[in-house]
Amino acid sequence: MKLFNILRNLPIDLGQEGMRSKTKGKIIARSLVPQAKEGQTALDLGCREGTQSKWLEKKGYKVTSIDIEKNYEKCLIVDCNKKLPFKTGSFNLVWCSEVVEHLENPGKSVKEMKRVLKPGGLLLVTTPNSRCWFYRILSLAGFKPKKIQNPDHKHFFGEKDVKSLFQDAKILGYFPYAIYKATIGRSLNFLTPTFVVIWRKS
């Protein structure tokens, strides 16, 4: 597994740990975040060290940061596998990056994310694509995504899974993985290592 640890830290954007804070998937998702109007709110679900929370604050949002453990001083301890402790229609934006694959019941959790959004609110999610071509090749050699990815991952999504989980959502990705990285909306299941999901509440 030392080989995979080396690969994760190469400056090639396959959504791996070494590129976690600047992956193209996050860049795409960030580009879709509008500048906040006065009083608008955002939920950073799975805030980790608060990097995205701080970025959202600079965009003008009043941010609520939650995670299952406190690695950021403003973080509220919340188990996202359970009902979220917020009223229906609390937020203008819900940001959830590299989290849904860790959850016990993603379908139930996604319903909660949608519930706490205000009408017209935006849900932005990024999650790994476990059907990407390089995972397929590695699978032929016996290295399944479960063995290669973060050991905390409970789900290994392909495009069909994401479309089922986020019905009526727009899904984007990127290709290639170094230097110039184009945003793509087709051939996602084969090409992109990360799905970027955009869903707006009617």
Give residue 178's domain range. 2-200
How confident is the model at residue 150, as a pLDDT?
A: 86
Calpha distance 111→89 (Å, rounded): 12
pLDDT band at 13 (very low <50, low <70, confident <90, very high): confident
- CATH code of residue 110: 3.40.50.150
How confident is the model at residue 165, as a pLDDT?
A: 97
pLDDT band at 17 (very low <50, low <70, confident <90, very high): low
Residue in this structure with the two tokens 């690695």, named with its chain if needed: 71
**Structurally, how many domains does the chain consist of?**
1
Greater model confidence, 41 or 8: 41
Q: Please compute the mean of the pLDDT values over residues 169-179 and round it to a whole number.
A: 95
User: What region, left, alpha or beta, does residue 50 occupy, with left being phi > 0 and alpha being psi -120 to 50 degrees?
Assistant: left
pTM of the shown model: 0.93
Query: Given a cut of 80, is residue 64 above it in pLDDT?
Result: yes
Q: What residues does 199 pair with on adjacent strands? A: 123
